[in-house]
Structure formats: C-alpha cells, structure tokens
Structure 1
Amino acid sequence: MESDVAAVYDDFGRRWAHDTSPLYEDWATGVAADRVVVALLDGLPPAKQQPNLIFAAARWEGCPLLPYPEWREWLLAHWEQVQATASTRTTQTNEPNRCATLLPVLSRIDGPVALLEVGAAAGLCLFPDRYSVDYATPIGPQRLDPADGPSTVTLACRLDDAASVPERMPHVLWRRGIDLAPIDPADPVALDWLATLIWPGPDHDRRVARLRGAAAIAAADPPEVVRGDLLERLTDVAADSPQDATLVVFHSAVLLYLDAEQRRRFAGLVTGLGAAVDRDIVWLSNETRGTLPEIDAQIPAGADTSHRFVQTRNATAIAFAGQHGALYETVPFRT
C-alpha cells in the first residue's frame, strides 16, 4: 500500500507547488517516489512530516536550492539537523496578502468588527485595515487604502468579478489571536523563520518583502495573541470581545493540521459560539478542499481547487481564495 507520507508529498508537489514553486514541486514529487526518504519521514510524528516544515527546516540548516538528486544527497547527510529543527519548529505561514481575500466579506459587515484569528502566528492577518490593496478586476485596476492614507505595505489580488471589490475598509475595534506558539513580530529570528517558510521561486519572492513590511506594522501596535489550543481557548477569548461589535472568527489553512474529530469539534464550537458568549458572530474560513465534508459538498462540480482555499461564511461556501491571497473567485458559486 502506498505510504500516507508519499501520497501527501505527491499531492503537495502536483497540486500546490505546481506552477508556483518549481523547486518544491521537484523536491516533493522526488520524495514521494523515494522509499529511503519516505521511511525517514515515516519515523517522525505526523505533525512533523509536513512538506513545508521539512523543506523549511532543511533550508534553515543550509541546504542547497538544487534539483532533487543533489538535495536528497544533502538531506541524507544532514538528516539529524533537519529532524531536530523540524521537531522544535512549526509551520506558521503568516501571509498578510490573505487579507485581500478577507476584505470582500469584512467590508460588508455593518458596524464595527472585532477580529479573532485562530492560528494567528505573529498576527499579521489581524490588520486587514492597515494595508493598501491593489485589486485587478475585469473592468480594470481598483485600489483600496486605509482610512488614514496609503500603507507602507501593498497587497495584490485578482478578482473575477468587480462587484467583489470592497467599497471601504472595515472599522476594527478589537484584535485578538490564538496560537499554540505565538510569534513576536519584532523578533528578528522568529521573522527569519517565517521568511524561510515562504516557498522559493519567482512567484514568492515578493512575499518575503511583504512579510517583513507587515511585521513592522504589527510590531508597532502588537495584537494580543493568546497561547493555547484553539479548541480550549476559543470560547473564553471570544467572550472578551466588545459586545458592540460583530465578532469575526477567521482562519486560513489551519484546520488541515487537525484530525477529523478535532475539525468536527471546532465547527461545533464556532457554530454555537454566538449563543455561548452572547455576541453576533461571523465565521469566516479559508481552508483546503477535504477539510470538512459538508463544505466539499458545496464545491461546484469540476471546479479547479489547485492553489485555492474554499472560502466560507458561516459554513456556506462563497468563493475560492488563492492560497497566498493572489486571487478571489466568486463566479463559480453563482452559476
């Protein structure tokens, strides 16, 4: 039977890295076909087998950015160092450009909002109102700036419908995050690790500069990111939000790190959260296909989900959102 690790790496290479990071596609498909390397990965705890974590750990330890045969030779010679780094670090892709795909929903919520992100890392996605955004639309470019003028960080996103362009920035009253290992956006070593998690390739080079610019904004006004398990802390952190704001619980590429039972528990918690804390709640989710079966059932037949999250509002699928925020597509869900 094919190893689960091999299947995960093959899917990562062919579905996620394909056409966006040629080197990671080469490494991932190489691992998938390599029994020796798969056996090494099989010896790690499941949470430490992730392609992005292993590849970032190897880069952190100084691996060459070379084709798979040369990289494999280096990996086998330095496996203990890579394993040690992977065991002490986690995958925390804190991509601020994802805010561009949150704004179409956030801007259409009446009144002020309170933002609660689960899996917040350094909290860079808790500042959707502090970044400028350039939207490419079918009727031409559209720009959205913060209320106090253009930001030092500009996001970029392609829309398939000009009607999705936000007319205004949300009025954010409160920001809070939950993470197993919160990151200080002012910590240069922690920021270097976040930068290492960004995939190599020309499509990703601009993400490093954007990450560092967003970290400077967050460091100047750091949000509180509560350390803890999202299943244990969600209700009490939500209860601290202001009652005169709509609480938006949001996340991107977080639930895939939970098992099926934990995902079901989380969905139940969020669904009942409004009653539990006596707040108006919006649940805004960007997650991969295969996360929750009831969401998968809403994906249009034949839709291309490569490099895309399924965005849901209160468990209703409304759009495809690019994995790093570069696109936002609503048309498939209206036809």
Structure 2
Amino acid sequence: MSTGHFYADGDIAEIYRWFAAEAAPSSPTWRAVCDWVARTGAVADRLAALPGMKRQPQLFLAALRRLDAPLTPGPALADWVAEHWDELERTILGHSTQTNEVGRCAVHLPLLAGLADDAGPIALVEVGSSAGLCLLPDAYAYRYRFADRPDLVVGSGTPVIPCRIGGATPAEAAYATPAIAWRCGIDTAPLDPTDPEVAAWLRALIWPGQQEREDRLAGALATAAGLPPVPVITGDALEALPDAVTEARRHADTVVVMHTATLSYVSRDRRARFGALVGGLGARWVSCEGERVVPEVRDRLPAAPYAGPPCFVLALDGRPLARVGQHGGWIDWLTEAAADRTVGPA
C-alpha cells in the first residue's frame, strides 16, 4: 500500500540518485556513495527491504558513519555492508533522522526577532525538536554577511554561526536576538543533548567533510549542557500541538510554531492536515522546508523555475519570504513581487 512518501514507496536506485544530486554541492563523499548504491544491486536490495521511512538515504549514510564503515565506493564497502548488515540494520531501525543543525538558527532568527519586535516576547514551539538545540536561538551568536555593508554580529554566545544575506530584508525580519518568554519542543522520540550516545548519533548525521558543522554541534551541545533543560512533549504533532499552543499562550501573547526539515518525513496527507491545524490555532507559523513540501508555501512560490543550489523555503504563515541553505549558511530574500503579500497572519 502506498504511504504517499517517496522514501517509503519509491525505487531505491531512483531515491539514491536523487539524494546524490542533493548532496553533490556540499558532500562529494555522499554523492559518490549514493551513486554507487544506485548501481549496486546487492546493496540496493537490502535497503529496499527496510520498512517504510527507514529506507531513506540519511539513515543508511549516518549508520555507515556511526559504525566507522569505509566510505569509498567499491568492493571493500560492499563487503563491509554484507558483513555488518545485521548491525547496520539495527542502527537504522533504532534511530531517526533528527539532524539538530544549529546553523539553521541563523535563518530562523530574523523572523523570530521580527515577531518579537512587533508584539513583545514570544513563546516558541518547535515541531521535530530532536535534542532541542534549535530551541535556543537566543543562546548563540551570529555573523551576518551583506554584500553592501559590514558584517553584523548578533548575540554573544557559542557557537558563532555565519550566514550570508542576499536580497532586500523584508519588514517582517530583524537581525537581533529575539525575546523568548517560554519554549518547548514536540518530537516522537526526543533526544537528550547530555547523552554521549545522542551526541555521537548527531555527529554521524553530519555529512563527511563538514568540519564546521561538527564544530557548531559541539559548541551547541556545550551551551545546552549549561542551561536548564527545555521541556519536550513526546508525541505526534497533530495530537500534541493544540495543548502545547494553549500552554504557550499562558506565557506570551504571541505563540510561534516553528519547524525545519520536519514535514518532509511525513506523508502528503499529514502535511496538509498539519497546515490546517496550525492555521486554526491562532499561532504564527515559521516553516523551513523543501519548496514542494508545504502546500501553502509551494502554491505561492514564483512561477519561474529555480536554478540555484539545493535549498529550503523560509515562510511565515504559509507565505514564502526567502530561499535558504538547507543547513543554514545563507538567506536569499525573495523580492516583494515574488513573495505573495496577499495572505495575512494565521
């Protein structure tokens, strides 16, 4: 039966060819491994037999890193996969893709700060919060780089997260540390940032050769360890979100529901239900997903084909405002004509 998700229903070779193209600009190692999987029937057959969303490349690749597999495509890797398949399968089945990339905080920050400027301190609810590191945007520092003026440093924490800015910053955004009165996460399997095994899995999810991301993760984990734990609700977002928003509203007039690279892991039907749910809760909605993931955002994007590097679309209340790096790193604000301005707050 179809689940309505490419990872669960698609041909493994096609899935891995697609992911190779996604990884190519920032991880030559994963591009090469994914291309190899697509051509190697014995490995592809093992992966095709995994259940549902466990067939996603991110889990297999992270498991290879976690178990110190050789990462050069060829007979040695094929032999290693065959010899260690039971351990690989246990690792894949026992984990989820919960990349807690704090670099994404740099693209969230302008919208969160803009909302806080408009209405005072906000209450922040993150769906798919993983270890909760992206719920601490006010604990890190940021270096925003502009083409036409000097860099702007915001905040004084660790790590310092760089972000290149392109396009004209919209009125909804501000480069400042947002005032956050209360925060919580929602996750089906929350992670403890103080657990060494959690830290090891989060490192494994980082793509090979991206030392800057590993350093950011280490800095964010150290920062989180020195702060009070952030409450996280264990459960499904469709069920847990209404109560979370109700509690958040006790702490601030403006409640922000935020998610990044989360809805891409659920079925199309659940994505549509999620958008309708958030719209009915009276919260502001900050989404950061692939351009085809959120229906409300997809239908308001410019008609002209996008020819840039792989990206997410940053949106407020279903209205696209920018294309951004998948792991943070850059924001290209859409022009006022390209971003639909006819849709009001949720």
**TM-score normalised by structure 1 residue count:** 0.91
Residues 26/47 of structure 1: CA separation in 2 closer, same or farther (3 Å cut): same
Whether contact under 8 Å (2:109, 2:175) holds in the other structure is no
Report deviation, 1:3.
5.1
- Post-superposition Cα deviations, 1:67-121, rounded to whole Å, max 9, x if no partner, equal 3443233212211111111011111000011010011111111211111000001
Whether contact under 8 Å (2:186, 2:233) holds in the other structure is yes
Q: What pairs up with 1:252-291 in 2 under 5 angstroms?
A: 252-274=260-282, 281-291=283-293
Aligned position for 1:171? 179
Q: Could you say what secondary structure the match of 2:104 adopts? A: helix
Cα RMSD, aligned residues only: 1.8
Structure 1 unaligned residues grouped into runs of 5+: 275-280
Q: Does 1:194 align with 2:194?
A: no
Q: Could you say what secondary structure the match of 1:183 adopts? A: coil
In 2, Cα distance between equivalents of 1:112 and 1:315: 22
Counterpart amino acid of residue 41 in structure 1: L
Report deviation, 1:268.
1.1
Report deviation, 1:18.
0.8
In 1, Cα distance between equivalents of 2:263 and 2:205: 18
Choose the corresponding residue for 2:233, options 202, 226, 239: 226
Counterpart amino acid of residue 188 in structure 1: P
Aligned position for 1:62? 68
**TM-score normalised by structure 2 residue count:** 0.88
Counterpart amino acid of residue 19 in structure 1: P
Q: What pairs up with 1:9-24 in 2 under 5 angstroms?
A: 9-14=16-21, 16-24=22-30
In 2, Cα distance between equivalents of 1:298 and 1:33: 37
* Alignment coverage as a number of residue pairs: 322
Q: What pairs up with 1:198-213 in 2 under 5 angstroms?
A: 198-201=206-209, 204-213=210-219
Report deviation, 1:264.
1.1
Choose the corresponding residue for 2:55, options 39, 45, 49: 49
In 1, Cα distance between equivalents of 2:295 and 2:234: 29
In 1, Cα distance between equivalents of 2:89 and 2:271: 27
Whether contact under 8 Å (2:99, 2:202) holds in the other structure is yes
Aligned position for 1:329? 332
Report deviation, 1:124.
0.5
In 2, Cα distance between equivalents of 1:313 and 1:50: 28
Whether contact under 8 Å (2:154, 2:175) holds in the other structure is no
Q: What pairs up with 1:1-335 in 2 under 5 angstroms?
A: 4-14=11-21, 16-109=22-115, 110=118, 111-146=120-155, 150-161=156-167, 163=169, 166-201=174-209, 204-221=210-227, 222-243=229-250, 244-274=252-282, 281-300=283-302, 301-304=304-307, 306-331=309-334, 334-335=337-338
Counterpart amino acid of residue 292 in structure 2: G
Identity of aligned residues (%): 39
Q: Could you say what secondary structure the match of 1:163 adopts? A: coil
Whether contact under 8 Å (1:138, 1:162) holds in the other structure is no
- Post-superposition Cα deviations, 1:101-154, rounded to whole Å, max 9, x if no partner, equal 0111111112111110000011100111111101111124423333xxx21210
In 2, Cα distance between equivalents of 1:232 and 1:185: 24
In 1, Cα distance between equivalents of 2:150 and 2:289: 27
Report deviation, 1:65.
2.5
In 2, Cα distance between equivalents of 1:220 and 1:246: 27
